[in-house]
Amino acid sequence: MSSATIKSTARYVVAIVTVAIFVFPIAWFALTSIKPISAIFNKDRVVVFDFKPTFDNYKVTVLGGRKSDSTKNSSILMGTSGDGAYDGRGSIMSSIIIATCSTILATVISLLAAYALSRLSFRGAQGYMHWILSQRFLPPVAIIIPLVFIFRDLGLRDTHLGIIIAHTLINIPIALLILKSFFDDVPIEVDQAAMIDGATRFQCFYMVVVPMIKGGIAATAVLCFIFSWTEFLLSLFLTNSIRTVPVKITTFVTSTGSEWGYISALGTAAIIPGFIFILLVQNHLVRGLTMGAIKD
Would you tell me which residues interact with another protein (CB under 8 A)? Answer: 187, 189-190, 192-200, 203, 208, 211-212, 214, 289-295
- Residue number, 169 or 190, with CB nearest to another protein: 190
Distance spanning both ends of the chain, measured CA to CA: 40
Q: How far is the CB of 189 from another protein (least distance, A)?
A: 4
CA distances from 201 to 78, 129, 215 (A): 63, 22, 22
The Cα 277–Cα 85 span in angstroms is 28
- Residue number, 69 or 197, with CB nearest to another protein: 197
DSSP labels, 60-115 = HHTS---HHHHHTT-S---S---GGGG--HHHHHHHHHHHHHHHHHHHHHHHHHHH
Containing 218, the helix (H) or strand (E) segment is: helix 214-230
Q: How far is the CB of 111 from another protein (least distance, A)?
A: 16
- Judged by DSSP in three states, 128 sits in helix
Q: How far is the CB of 105 from another protein (least distance, A)?
A: 25
Rounded to the nearest angstrom, the gap between the alpha carbon of residue 3 and the centroid of all alpha carbons in its chain is 42
- Residue number, 74 or 200, with CB nearest to another protein: 200
- Residue number, 168 or 290, with CB nearest to another protein: 290
- Residue number, 6 or 188, with CB nearest to another protein: 188
Q: How far is the CB of 188 from another protein (least distance, A)?
A: 9
Q: How far is the CB of 224 from another protein (least distance, A)?
A: 23
Decide if 78 contacts 257 (C-beta within 8 A).
yes
